[in-house]
Chain A
Amino acid sequence: MAVGKEIRTKIKSIKNTQKITRAMEMVAASKMRKAQDRMAASRPYADKMRAVISHLAHAHPEYKHPYLKPREEVKRVGFIVISSDRGLCGGLNTNMLRALLGEMRQLHKEKVEIDLCTIGKKAHAFFKRLGGNLVGQVDHLGDAPQLSDLIGTVKIMLDAYSEGRIDRLCVVYNEFVNTMTQKAHIDQLIPIEAGELDAQLKHHWDYLYEPEAKAVLDGLMMRYIESLVYQGVVENIACEQAARMVAMKSASDNAGDLIGELQLVYNKARQAAITQEISEIVGGAAAV
């Protein structure tokens, strides 16, 4: 029967799309679980690191690391922007970039210049299209990023800070609140803001440093900043998968609804054709 061939092909193509979106949803769901595990696994390091840094901020060392001292005048700010490599994840990157752009605009008004380092293809493409002083870039980190992939990008910014080219360093990423909610965050990395004081450590004391304070603190600070950026990256991946899962779920649902509607139209058309045929036959028989 030739009735509604167009509708049939349309239904078929939507069904195919739905298969794809459903598969993507399931892939994203399983990847999200893994990303969450990874996020949890990287947390102890960051916590311990933070504890050591806050001990350090309240110790009374003879050598005060430059990262711990805020600078009086801020002329240039560095941003490490963490985005996803791939799209189809709802408004995740857009929201993050919008938050960043608001901040950048504010700084622009205050005549503060901006350096950018991007992690992930989406942020890179955005700033490539729209300009901005990009000083470092890394992408294709995959689902299981390694700290060693980030060392270069972070080092550019740390060097810039040490040499006085930038006076503040921030990281921009999405925070994983839960599966439905991701929140864009802009966190200051350096100068490091000292955490709350550990009550039992209030008396005067300092670490013994081996070999010497400067070398040890340099190594420690570098690792601290890297671990924060790494955490941002891992968290952003969990966000990406969660956002993709939600986006693909709604896409599959929409496809289902569309198919339902088309099916209804198709059935009606078929019914009408049959009725017409019967009435034609009956009419024909009556005429004979």
Chain B
Amino acid sequence: MAFTMHVDIVSAEEAIFSGKARMVFAPAVMGEVGILPRHAPLLTQLRPGEVRVQTEDGTEDFFYVSGGMLEVQPYTVTVLADTAVRAKDIDEAAAIEAKQRAEQALKDRKSDIDYARAQAELIEASARLQAIQHLRKKTGR
């Protein structure tokens, strides 16, 4: 009987595949790699493409990934798939956008936190809640 290894394909939003496999093909950035059991530890980035898993009974499963990471240990293979399309400038644009949103919203900002006021406001809010709970207890609800 051929060696098998454990394969997990997960993305940040869900688990996609988990099971035993004889061989895994993945689209690494340097070219497609085929992983057999007892492969040396490997860590590589994936480009968009197809991950193929040859399961124990010889059938092949296909999964599309839009990039991600591949980790190989002798008896486990983990594909950490991306859910978002990413490239350096897309990420950069997203960062700038988030920053601008903050700046826009904070045009009249004060640079230092008014701790006393913040504290007072929070204390008031929690006191209000406590009072409600207290009242409820008193009326036996």
User: Which residues of A are in contact with B by a Cβ distance under 8 Å?
Assistant: 38, 41-42, 44-46, 48-49, 51-52, 55-56, 59, 90-91, 94-95, 97-98, 101, 104-105, 108, 114, 117-118, 124, 126-128, 130-138, 146-148, 151-153, 155-156, 159, 205-211, 215-217, 219-220, 223, 226-227, 230, 250, 253-254, 257
Contact = CB atoms under 8 A, between A and B. Distances in A.
Contacts, number: 183
A250 B86 CA distance: 45
A41 B15 contact: yes
Interface in B1-55: 8, 10-15, 18, 28-30, 33, 40-45
Given A205-B41, A220-B69, 16 more contacts: A46-B12, A52-B78, A91-B125, A128-B105, A128-B109, A134-B106, A136-B102, A137-B98, A147-B84, A148-B94, A152-B93, A156-B99, A210-B43, A211-B44, A223-B69, A223-B82
A253 B33 CA distance: 61
B131 interface: no
B129 A210 contact: no
A139 B83 CA distance: 20
Dominant SS among interface residues on chain A: helix
B78 to A, nearest CB: 5
Dominant SS among interface residues on chain B: mixed
Given A138-B101, A216-B44, A223-B69, A211 B94 contact: no
A245 B37 CA distance: 49
A153 B99 CA distance: 8
Contacts of B82: 223
Interface of B: 8, 10-15, 18, 28-30, 33, 40-45, 68-69, 71, 73, 78, 80, 82-86, 91-99, 101-102, 105-106, 109-115, 117-119, 121-122, 125-126, 129, 136, 139, 141
Given A105-B115, A253-B141, A94 B126 contact: yes
Contacts of B119: 101, 105
Contacts of A134: 102, 105-106, 109
Contacts of A108: 113, 115
A148 B102 contact: no
A94 B84 contact: no
